[in-house]
Amino acid sequence: MNPDKSFLRALGGEAVWPPPLWLMRQAGRYLPEYRATKERAGGFLELCLNPELSAEVTFQPLRRFPLDAAILFTDLPMLPWAMGQPLRYGTGGPEGVGPILDPVRDAAAIAGLRPAGAAARAAPIMETVARIRAGLERDHPGVALIGFAGAPWTVACYMVDGRGGHGFPETRRMAAENPALLDALFAALLEASESYLVAQAEAGAEALMLFDSWAGLLPPEGFARWVLAPTVALTARLRARLGPDFPLIGFPRLAGPDNLLAYAAGAGVNGLGLDETVDPAWAASALPRSVALQGNLDSRALVEGGEALERGADRILTAMRGRPFVFNLGHGITPDTPPDHVAFLAQRVRAG
Ligand code: CP3
């Protein structure tokens, strides 16, 4: 590990100040050069499967802003795709935007998945990881590389419902009415996620993040059963393969304070992503210091800029000073974000 990588030091438990900074969706549609590269690739899925161009879009925000981490450019449903589930992207018509998967809703469909082949089918993504890491060492030696996957619950939501935007009623129905079937899907997902994430680490990812974007959909006992328990199982498998100190970040979005406390204590992560609904002062005092916190500026403040942005950033910086912390948003950058506002935020965070 490069001792100068401030992001890795913070995840290792050091109260680095000014805090390291990166932003979810830092590569994406708010950057004209991203839109041009996606066009060149011939579409979003094509971009995700093109190692040269995926690496290129990963580097784009680093050339503009002083960020401390890069995140592998790919998408969460690429793991189901790698397990054999057909995937396409809606273009904004009646199906909306975003990923569309052929739903997996019965035992035959689950048995037809190929978790053992997932890492091999995802070979182009591993090549992307290797290219990004080499480019970082060459041109951005202080920047750490984050690999990622969706956490089992959130990936299952997309696999069972087939698309987002409707609160995933079929997945929640399966959890309530046929938990054994959902368990079978989770067993496949755990196997595939382990090999997919270990392959990313072997290709050069220096930290791994588990996105649980829909962790907030479940009642408390559902959170324990479908969010926390599978995350614990996955982090245990990753630790067995990658060693006890490998930096892992969990992001149980919209989980709420009680669930966050349980997650911070038991999920087996070094870092905890906070969404914008979490009060940073509460988080800094209530969550264990042994876990580095990451977040949680409202993406809307970044769109708005000016005073809203300054106030939001300062509130977080004030609360988190003196504890292991990584500055980020509470969710991804939205396409209507002016790049100038990102530059302003980076200066503000740098000033501590
Ligand atoms: O800079 C980065 O953060 C890099 C890569 C990244 C993407 N998706 C690229 C992307 C990451 C880490 C993700 C994770 C992801 N994907 C999550 C978890 C985090 C979250 O946002 O909650 C989820 C739920 C998905 C699934 C997904 N992918 C949705 C719901 C959508 C449509 C909504 C949207 O923001 O467009 C996508 C598409 C997507 N993933 C885009 C990008 C850059 C936009 C596609 C385009 O350019 O046409």
| Closest CA to ligand 1's atom 46 | 44
Helix then strand then coil, in percent of the chain rounded to 5, is 55, 15, 30
pLDDT, mean of residues 62-89: 98
Q: What is the pTM of this model?
A: 0.97
Report yes or no on 255 lying in a domain: yes
Closest CA to 255 of 286, 270, 277: 277
Residue 236 lies in a domain: yes
For residue 57, what are the domain limits?
6-350
Question: Is 339 part of a structural domain of the chain?
Answer: yes
Tell the residue nearest (CA) to atom 23 of ligand 1.
Answer: 76
Determine the distance separating the centroid of ligand 1 and the alpha carbon of 336, expressed in angstroms. 15
Name the pLDDT band for 133 (thresholds 50, 70, 90). very high
Flag whether 1 is in a domain: no
Least confident stretch, 14-28, 90-104, 183-197, 265-279: 90-104
Residue 42, phi-psi category: left (phi > 0), alpha (psi -120 to 50), beta (remainder)? left
Is 90 exceeded by the pLDDT of residue 155?
yes
What pLDDT does residue 165 have?
Answer: 86
Residue 265 lies in a domain: yes
Strand partners, 207: 146
Residue from 60, 75, 154, 294 whose mutation best tests the ligand 1 pocket (most atoms within 8 A of CB): 75
Q: Enumerate long-range contacts of 235-242, CB under 8 Å, 24 or more apart.
A: 235/210, 235/267, 235/268, 235/269, 236/268, 237/190, 237/194, 238/194, 238/197, 238/198, 238/208, 239/268, 241/194, 241/198, 242/198, 242/201
Nearest alpha-carbon partner for 313 in 328, 290, 297: 297
Q: Is 193 in the pocket of ligand 1 (CB under 6 A)?
A: no
Quote the pLDDT of residue 91.
81
Percentage with pLDDT > 90 across the chain:
96
261-291 pLDDT, tens per residue? 999 999 999 999 999 999 999 999 999 999 9
* Number of folded domains that form the chain: 1
The CATH number that applies at residue 247 is: 3.20.20.210
In this predicted structure, what is the pLDDT of residue 4? 84
Residues comprising the chain, all counted: 352
Cβ of residue 273 lying under 6 Å from some atom of ligand 1: no
The amino acid occupying position 75 is: D
Rounded to the nearest angstrom, the distance between the alpha carbon of 24 and the centre of ligand 1 is 9
User: Could you tell me if 112 and 184 are in contact, meaning their C-beta atoms sit under 8 angstroms apart?
Assistant: no
Q: Render pLDDT for 219-240 as a digit per residue (tens, 0 to 9).
A: 999 999 999 999 999 999 999 9
pLDDT at residue number 327: 98
3 state SS of 348 = helix
CA 323 to chain centre: 22
What is the structure's pLDDT at 92?
77
pLDDT higher than 90, residue 340 = yes
Answer whether residue 230 is part of any domain: yes
Quick check: is 69 in a domain? yes
Q: Is residue 158 part of a domain?
A: yes
pLDDT of 140 above 90: yes
